Amino acid sequence: MELFYRVSFQEVVADALSLVEERELSSKHALERVFKKVSGRDRDKARGLAHAYVFEIEKWRAKIDFIINSVLRGSSVDDLDPYLANLLRIGTFEIHFRKVPPAVATDSIIRVVKERFDFSRAKFVNALMHEIEKFDVEKALKRLREGDRIEWLSVRFSHPRWYVEYAVELLGYDEAVRLLLSNNRPQRYYVRANTLKTDVDSLRDYLEENGVRTALTPVPDVLKILEYKTPVTRLDWYKEGKFVIQDLASAYVAHVLAPEPGERVLDLAAAPGSKTFHAAALMENRGEIVAVDYSYDRLMRMKEKMKLLGIKNVKLVHADGQSFKDKEKFDKIILDAPCSSSGTYRQFPEVKWRFDENKIKRIISVQRNMLRNAYENLRDGGEMTYSTCSIRIDEDEENVLFAVERVGLELVDYPFGWGDRGFLEIGDRVFRAWTHRHDCNGFFIAKLRKG
């Protein structure tokens, strides 16, 4: 494979993994940054393979780290230089998951270590790689299962321990295992027709003509992708903005909100923009949507996408959704709150390793500040949706109870047409989707009103 980067393929992957970890970028954006510096005949082929490596290493990181920690005996992969740790993860992944011949996998890692570090570190890594090669994963997992069933689930299915404990408590052991399994399956893709440019029937015909088999879904403008010959992102209609890729549950939010042409709508955490754009289409580009986000870069990406989709009624505002105020009140508000993303592990495996209980407490505080601020921005009689891509009750039902009991919002009895109901005393009045039950992201929606 011919690449021009002054580096090997393993360094490309290690650079991307480091960006994912240090800058909290998605795998996709990390690889975009790394590949800006890569040229050569095999660039596209290498990018596809690098994406597969980064995605799978993030997905199986707990299991990979379990192997490395077992051979380190007493210390941990987290004690190592972060770049060296990522090189070891790549080597372990190649030997135990991709079944690359151990000598080849070890040699490619040692070369990078010699170049980036020193001879003594290369000697240390060489010895570790030989231990990793000989390590009997199944035998070690069997021992772990006998000693600590939760830790065994955490390693076997590569999820954070807190998540496994939470899922078992919430759903029971058997169903929690089904959820863990489902999170590790290939992502299911959905496409939403951009009704400013086409309709769902025309989109379905077009996709069928281009070798993409689809199915209808409970969301009227969304199709489920069953099979494809060419990735849908390479099709002309995608490049022309006639459809977007959007998760099924995420696309339900705008329908639950039901914004009307001519209304004033506020999106308090708008980027990357899927729900904003969907609301604009349902409003037929009439009225106004104020789209607020704290990330200027993400707003600029929204601006580009708006041109492509033909959206003309959205005003982008760089501000904090916890404190943004407008002179006039709004008829409708979308609050798709920043959250632990614990419902999106199938789509973004890297987020599994970003949260612990302390960080989740901090994010719940942000969610509650945004709920208070939404109330201040909503006109009397105005409606809003509160949604997250989290499975956690403290980010979902408990926050709705906070909004009702402490903020002054009312919970609307919305007739959800699909999905499951939730938990606590308001469980039958809120929406939940689950990866293992509904083949989409784990998701929560509640509709609220200012009385």
274 is in an annotated binding site: yes
Q: Provide the residue type at 424 as one letter.
A: L
Residues contacting 417, CB < 8 A, separation 6+? 218
275 is in an annotated binding site: yes
Cα–Cα dist 202/33, whole Å: 36
- Helix, strand counts (H, E) of the chain: 19, 12
Catalytic residue among 110, 389, 391, 445: 389
Phi first, then psi, for residue 292 (nearest 5°) are: -105, 135
> Do 253 and 275 meet the contact criterion of CB atoms below 8 Å apart?
yes
271 is in an annotated binding site: yes
Phi first, then psi, for residue 166 (nearest 5°) are: -65, -45
- Per DSSP, the three-state class of 222 is strand
Helix orientation angle between 274-282 and 296-309, rounded to the nearest 10 degrees: 40
User: How crowded is the C-beta side of 317, counted as CA atoms within 13 Å?
Assistant: 18
User: How crowded is the C-beta side of 377, counted as CA atoms within 13 Å?
Assistant: 25
Cα–Cα dist 125/122, whole Å: 5
Concerning whether 339 is annotated as a catalytic residue, the answer is no
Count Cβ atoms within 10 A of the Cβ of residue 352 and give its class: 0-12 exposed, 13-18 middle, 19 or more buried. buried
293 is in an annotated binding site: yes
Binding-site annotation, residues: 269-275, 293, 320, 336
Catalytic residues: 389
Binding-site annotation, residues for S-adenosyl-L-methionine: 269-275, 293, 320, 336
